[in-house]
Amino acid sequence: MLRIHNLSKRYHDQLIFQGLTHRFSSGCIALCEEDSTGKSSLLGIIAGVIAPDAGDVWVDGHSLTQAPQQAKARIAYVPNDCLAFPAQTGREYLEKIAAEKNTTLDDAVLDLAYELGLEPHLDKRFEQMSTGTRRKVFLTAAALGDPAVIIADGPSNGLDAQARAVLAEQFKTWSQDRIVLFASHDAELVQACGATTMNIAELR
């Protein structure tokens, strides 16, 4: 479902990681190590928003290098910074992602949005939202289509207690037949969703 092979990344003179190779199976996997270890870079590479210096990623059998459109269609990505579209409303963003995934903003997705507490905020622009509210929109967008892999960087950052509980249950549901790979220092979330913890050094 998700495989990385010989991934390497360097920023200027700093080597972030080299030769990462791993095959992931369905379930929740949490990268919980300290900052500045390359977690965000690795997640960005797997999501197809950061180019590796070497190596490749396969999602559902599709190479991110050779067939990026097919690979990205099977990925949902929640970045650390959820302010990519300041003037866009939450509803407009969800409709945009739904169109890209050839699906619709159906009741099941809206139910998740409402459980996260988004109902009064969906028609606000991102620049009007709090950090946690922006993240809730991106987390809701991850439910659109049928992603095989959900990638999330700091998914519980800025969330209230109710939303964190909903997130943990959603991760548990997704992980039954998909891969949920996330980076977090939130020990309660890691425990609540039953995630397996992993360090980047183990991916060799």
Residue 21: predicted pLDDT: 96
CATH assignment at residue 135: 3.40.50.300
Asked if residues 38 and 16 have their Cβ atoms less than 8 Å apart, the reply is yes
Q: How far apart are CA 15 and CA 134, in angstroms?
A: 32
d(CA 202, CA 125): 40
Looking at the 3D structure of the chain, how many domains does it have? 1
- Edge-to-edge strand order for the sheet containing 196-198? 75-78, 149-153, 179-183, 27-31, 196-198
Query: Helix 90-100 vs helix 131-141: angle between axes, to the nearest 10 degrees?
Result: 20
Question: pLDDT tens-digit profile of 74-120?
Answer: 999 999 999 888 999 999 999 999 999 999 999 999 999 999 999 99
Show the domain range for 188: 2-202
Q: What is each CA distance from 130 to 30, 72, 82, 133, in whole angstroms?
A: 25, 28, 10, 5
The pLDDT of residue 56: 97
Structure tokens given for 144: 């659109």
Beta strands in the chain (DSSP E): 2-11, 14-24, 27-31, 54-59, 62-63, 75-78, 149-153, 179-183, 196-198
Single-letter amino acid code for the residue at 178:
R
Question: In order along the chain (204 residues), what is the average pLDDT of each group of 10 residues?
Answer: 95 92 95 81 96 96 95 96 93 96 94 96 97 97 96 96 97 96 95 94 78
Would the pTM of this model clear 0.85, i.e. be above it? yes
pLDDT at 202: 81
Name the DSSP class of 200.
G
- Model pLDDT, residue 50: 96
**Reduced DSSP (H G I as helix, E B as strand, rest coil) percent helix, strand, coil of the chain, to 5:** 35, 25, 40
